[in-house]
Amino acid sequence: MSEKLPPGYLILRVREAGYRVTAARMAVCQVLEESETHVNAEELCAEAQKILPAINLASVYRTLTILDELGLVHEVRIGTLPGRWAVASGDAELHLHCTECEAVYHHPLKDTLEPLLDHIKADHGFEVQRANLVLNGVCGNCMHNHLK
Amino acid sequence: MSEKLPPGYLILRVREAGYRVTAARMAVCQVLEESETHVNAEELCAEAQKILPAINLASVYRTLTILDELGLVHEVRIGTLPGRWAVASGDAELHLHCTECEAVYHHPLKDTLEPLLDHIKADHGFEVQRANLVLNGVCGNCMHNHLK
DNA sequence: GTATATGCAAAGTCTTTGCATCGTT
DNA sequence: AACGATGCAAAGACTTTGCATATAC
């Protein structure tokens, strides 16, 4: 997951892709790398402003667009809530969304998904590029609090 | 899937839930039952207007909200595109979203998902209520057209 | 020096909401 | 008759875009 990536990984990949390395992009990348959960654009912008006070939402969105194109971040959309982003892990993962506290937990799928993807390819001729898997439910904490 | 449901199923459930049966709700339900793919609110409204010319987007959204609460429809959100709805099938299903032509195909999961859900419950204490599973990729048609 | 990226503000989309009226129960 | 639902229009929330300026290469 994200914490295993070397610091500066994202901006490095941005540079490699031919994009310029700017203060705004560095700030966004740094915040993403240091985030332990999915963050929405506004939160991301607020954090980035601690590093680069002048940065604004437009630049955050523009940077996210690039990172997404490069497959470096992953966006989760839940209902009509604002999109939330996190550094994309190499393996597919399930996002567990608690409808009580709105937290998003991760569940790596690793090889679990491979057979399914092969099956889908064979069945539908559909070539999967990216997985956006959200399970909505109630997390352990909230469940526990309910019982009290 | 949706085509197996008896016509009038949705509005019946709406009535059972204690909501009034109105022309607007009937129209939305009928369109959903007759739709073979996921439709967005605007498309749904346009279709519903063929049945009830006066209906408008607000009523469509309001009806969708009710149907969603009752677990009768399922919303799929892809990137920043408008939400799309379809009648919820009993079984969990994967939504295969073609990033070329924007079509959404379905892939029933049936029992495939059960072991995973049990695993998640055991691992994270997370109780899954609803699955929103989208795989992005390229469908057979588009793949074929690319090769030409 | 030149092409790109930024910040700001304005526009765009999709969705929700207030309110007077209408329709269902 | 009473309460809930509708249609309209306006507001809201999130995201994108135009443009002049600033910056990376």
Reported pTM? 0.86
Closest CA to A22 of A2, A50, A51, A43: A51
* pLDDT (0 to 100) of residue A63: 98
CATH of B1-88, one of 3.30.420.40, 1.10.599.10, 3.30.70.100, 1.10.10.10: 1.10.10.10
Q: What is the pLDDT of residue A4?
A: 65
Integer angstrom CA distances of residue A43 from A9, A71, B37, B47:
21, 21, 35, 39
In the block, tokens 């795989």 appear at: B135
> Three-class SS of residue B74?
strand
State the pLDDT at residue B1.
44
CA B11 distance to own-chain centroid: 16
pLDDT tens-digit map of B93-107? 788 888 777 778 888
The H or E element containing residue A51 is: helix A41-51
Domains A1-88 and A90-148 share a fold: no
- For residue A130, give how far its alpha carbon lies from the nearest alpha carbon of chain B (Å): 5
pLDDT in tens, A40-80: 999 999 999 999 999 999 999 999 999 999 999 989 888 88
Q: Which of residues 113-132 of B touch A (CB under 8 A)?
A: 116-117, 120, 123-132
Q: What is the pLDDT of residue A122?
A: 87
Domain B90-148 has CATH 3.40.50.2000: no
pLDDT of residue A1: 43
Q: Is B32 near chain A, with CB under 8 Å?
A: no
Give the mean pLDDT of chain B. Answer: 88
So where are chain A's domains? 1-88, 90-148
Q: What percent of chain A has pLDDT over 90?
A: 47
Tens of pLDDT, residues B27-71: 999 999 999 889 999 999 999 999 999 999 999 999 999 999 999
From the CA of B98, how many Å to the C1' of D13? 27
Q: What was the pLDDT predicted at B142?
A: 86
Query: Does any strand D atom come closer than 7 Å to the Cβ of B135?
Result: no
Which of A81-95, B19-33, B90-104 is most confident? B19-33
Judged on CB neighbours under 10 Å (0-12, 13-18, 19+), B33 is: middle
Q: What is the DSSP string of B59-71?
A: HHHHHHHHHHHTT
Give me the residue from B112, B120, B135 closest to A107, CB to CB: B120
Give the pLDDT confidence score for residue A128 in this predicted structure: 86
